């Protein structure tokens, strides 16, 4: 048997599957493929040389962040916001909230508990430094978000009779079985050309410990494996039954199940532990900025045209507070954070290159469903406290709350969520359903993992981003070809107009992308003003 030297890409994939994202990221950094964010201390603006006004379109995170920094530097700022709320896609739905989607479907949230749904962003990676800087600066309390929980489930309707398997069992059984295979390859001399005699001994010793192999280098049910994988009969006290180590899954059914591919959901750099969330809902971040800039926001302002010349910008908008009266607002500069999916439909005076860039970027589809239950059966019955279960069913994942652990009474789980993925188009099907149909579908599929759904369900709410009139999609869906053709043009200052938002970043869909875009935009605008 001969072994070829893996490419760097193949090597990274192998490291990621076996050792996890942290090891893979370190390898990527060593190979020059990745680097930490350069963000550390925010921005330091010079400020205007005279009284200068900046008009910001959109009171989402990018718009409010830009307003916050510009006001601190001495600029006059005003924000025009289409909705009657701030925060944009950073929002939280709670009991009593009501929304109407693009199809006229009224979405009422009837939650009785303090549970909630974050339709957009719902977790914060530890390396998103700008987010945490602003959380500190704006006194936004945060708490841990449990991304990976070994007690949560991996599920395939075609494997193990449709019975969900614990995340920890699948991960450890893959490691143990692969360790046994590698140990056999070493003992059979298959790696003689790649590993020295001394290294072979060290490798076998490491595999025995890492894979919890027995004295014959086999991955079998032993007491040592019980300490590592868990017990079929837990250790007890007094005259309780003797403990029994759990029985691992064989390699062949594991390989056929496809469950080990679901483990990769936990091993991306974006999702490595620890992750965090604002206490009480993601809109806590939006509220933090609103406390600083709320006085400069005009709500109900539907922008219809952006005109600009060498000396300034004039924006036409329908004033919802005055029955839709057409009004205009002028300023020296305009920062536009309107989603490209909407902006492409407006009259905008700009270069042909910018106009093409605005119209070139599609927006990803995404949906979520949240369900409220009478009790936390996932904790009481299944011992799942936080984390995410993944399935090949159309609901894709079930996320358990990372707060209120082991309390009594109703609670809410995120019972279905996905964004568009190449080769999988569940999101468009979900978007075609009504709110009530999405709730019914989430119940139908979810009961295959949690049969308690039938007796514990109380109410539900859903969200489909392509049915939201003020964004018409979830986030800017870049490809490498689109970035090469349009990204720089989209971000450059076009006379007196400049764009900002998650779509003007290399981290689309994340709050961090919106913040970094806003900070970069105000820095360049300030430099242009003081040139």
Cα–Cα distance between 166 and 154 in angstroms, integer?
A: 6
Query: What domains does the chain contain, in order, with CATH numbers?
Result: 1-35 (no CATH), 53-86+291-362+476-529 (3.50.50.60), 98-151+273-281+364-467 (3.90.660.10), 168-254 (1.20.1440.240)
Predicted confidence (pLDDT) per residue in 237-248, tens digit: 999 999 999 999
Go through the chain and tell me how many residues it has. Answer: 531
CA quadruple 268, 270, 275, 279: dihedral, nearest 10: -140
Closest of 280, 274, 267 to residue 146, by C-alpha: 274
Per the DSSP assignment, residues forming a β-bridge with 53 are: 76
- DSSP string computed for 169-183: HHHHHHHHHHHHHHH
Q: What is the largest CA-CA distance in the chain?
A: 87
Q: What is the CA radius of gyration of the chain?
A: 26
E-state strands within 299-402: 301-308, 313-319, 325-331, 333-336, 347-348, 366-373, 387-391, 397-400
Cα–Cα distance between 71 and 317 in angstroms, integer?
A: 23
- DSSP string computed for 490-504: HHS-BTTEEE-SGGG
Burial class from Cβ neighbours inside 10 Å (0-12, 13-18, 19+) for residue 163 reads: exposed
| CA angle, 381 then 383 then 385, to 5° | 125
Residue 463 near residue 473 (C-beta atoms within 8 A) = no
pLDDT score recorded for residue 69:
98
pLDDT score recorded for residue 5:
37
78 membership: H or E segment, kind and range: strand 76-80
Cα–Cα distance between 285 and 138 in angstroms, integer?
A: 9
Closest of 527, 530, 523, 531 to residue 70, by C-alpha: 523
E-state strands within 392-464: 397-400, 411-419, 457-464
pLDDT score recorded for residue 196:
86
Residue 389 near residue 502 (C-beta atoms within 8 A) = no
Instruction: Report how far apart, in Å, the C-alpha atoms of 320 and of each of 21, 56, 82, 330 are.
Output: 48, 18, 9, 18
Burial class from Cβ neighbours inside 10 Å (0-12, 13-18, 19+) for residue 51 reads: exposed
Is the dihedral angle over the CA atoms 519, 525, 526, 527 positive or is it negative? positive
Cα–Cα distance between 282 and 288 in angstroms, integer?
A: 11
**Paired sense of beta strands 325-331 and 333-336, if any:** unpaired
Residue 285 near residue 278 (C-beta atoms within 8 A) = yes
**What does each of the 531 residues of the chain score in pLDDT, given as a tens digit?**
233 333 444 434 443 444 444 334 333 433 333 344 456 678 999 999 889 999 999 999 999 999 999 999 999 999 999 999 999 999 999 999 999 999 899 999 999 999 999 999 999 999 999 999 999 999 999 999 999 999 999 999 999 999 999 999 999 999 999 999 999 999 998 888 888 888 889 999 999 999 999 999 999 999 999 999 999 999 999 999 999 999 999 999 999 999 988 998 898 889 989 999 999 999 999 999 999 999 999 999 999 999 999 999 999 999 999 999 999 999 999 999 999 999 999 999 999 999 999 999 999 999 999 999 999 999 999 999 999 999 999 999 999 999 999 999 999 999 999 987 655 678 889 999 999 999 999 999 999 999 999 999 999 999 999 999 999 999 999 999 999 999 999 999 999 999 999 999 999 999 999 999 999 999 999 999 998
pLDDT score recorded for residue 62:
98
Cα–Cα distance between 449 and 392 in angstroms, integer?
A: 11
Instruction: Give backbone dihedrals phi and psi of 407, rounded to 5 degrees, phi first.
Output: -90, 160
pLDDT score recorded for residue 13:
47
519 membership: H or E segment, kind and range: helix 511-529
Cα–Cα distance between 520 and 524 in angstroms, integer?
A: 6
């Amino acid at each position: 048997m001969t072994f070829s030297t893996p490419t760097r890409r193949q090597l990274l994939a192998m490291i990621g599957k076996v050792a996890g994202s942290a090891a893979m990221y370190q390898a990527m950094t060593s190979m020059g493929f990745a680097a930490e964010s350069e963000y550390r201390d925010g921005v330091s603006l010079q400020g205007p040389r005279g009284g200068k006004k900046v008009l910001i379109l959109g009171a989402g995170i990018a718009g409010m962040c830009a307003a916050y920094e510009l006001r601190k530097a001495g600029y006059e700022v005003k924000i025009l916001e289409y909705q009657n709320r701030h925060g944009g896609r950073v929002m939280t739905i709670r009991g009593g909230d009501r929304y109407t989607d693009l199809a006229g479907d009224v979405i009422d949230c009837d939650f009785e508990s303090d549970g909630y749904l974050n339709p957009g962003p719902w977790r914060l990676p530890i390396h998103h430094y700008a987010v945490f800087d602003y959380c500190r600066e704006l006194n936004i309390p945060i708490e841990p978000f449990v991304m990976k929980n070994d007690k949560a489930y991996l599920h395939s309707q075609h494997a193990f009779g449709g019975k969900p398997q614990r995340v920890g069992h699948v991960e450890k059984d893959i490691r143990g079985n692969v360790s046994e295979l590698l140990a056999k390859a070493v003992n059979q001399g298959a790696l003689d050309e790649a590993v020295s005699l001394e290294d072979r001994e060290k490798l076998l010793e490491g595999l025995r410990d890492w894979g919890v192999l027995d004295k014959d280098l086999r991955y079998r049910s032993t007491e040592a494996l019980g300490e590592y994988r868990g017990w079929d009969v837990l250790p007890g006290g007094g005259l309780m039954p003797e403990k029994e180590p759990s029985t691992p899954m064989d390699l062949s059914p594991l390989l056929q199940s496809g469950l080990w591919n679901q483990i990769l959901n936990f091993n991306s750099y974006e999702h490595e532990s620890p992750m965090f969330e604002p206490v009480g809902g993601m809109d806590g971040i939006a509220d933090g900025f609103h406390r600083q800039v709320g006085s400069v926001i005009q709500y109900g302002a539907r922008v219809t045209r952006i005109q600009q010349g060498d000396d300034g910008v004039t924006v036409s908008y329908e004033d919802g507070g005055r029955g839709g009266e057409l009004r205009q607002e002028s300023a020296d500069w305009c920062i536009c954070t309107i989603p490209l999916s909407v902006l492409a439909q407006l009259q905008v005076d700009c270069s042909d290159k910018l106009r093409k860039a605005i119209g070139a970027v599609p927006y990803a589809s995404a949906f979520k469903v949240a369900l409220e239950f009478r009790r936390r059966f996932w904790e009481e019955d299944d011992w799942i406290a936080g984390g995410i279960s993944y399935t090949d069913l159309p609901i894709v994942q079930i996320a358990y709350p990372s707060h209120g652990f082991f309390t009594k009474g109703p609670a809410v789980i995120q019972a279905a969520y996905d964004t568009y993925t190449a080769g999988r188009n569940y999101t468009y099907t979900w978007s075609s359903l009504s709110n009530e149909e999405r709730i019914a579908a989430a119940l139908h599929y979810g009961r295959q993992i949690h049969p308690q759904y039938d007796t514990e369900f109380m109410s539900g709410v859903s969200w489909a981003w392509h049915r939201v009139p003020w964004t018409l999609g979830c986030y800017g869906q870049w490809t490498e070809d689109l970035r090469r053709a349009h990204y720089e043009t989209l971000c450059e200052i076009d006379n007196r107009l400049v764009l900002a938002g998650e779509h003007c970043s290399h981290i689309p869909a994340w709050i961090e992308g919106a913040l970094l875009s806003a900070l970069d935009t105000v820095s360049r605008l300030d430099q242009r003003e003081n040139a």
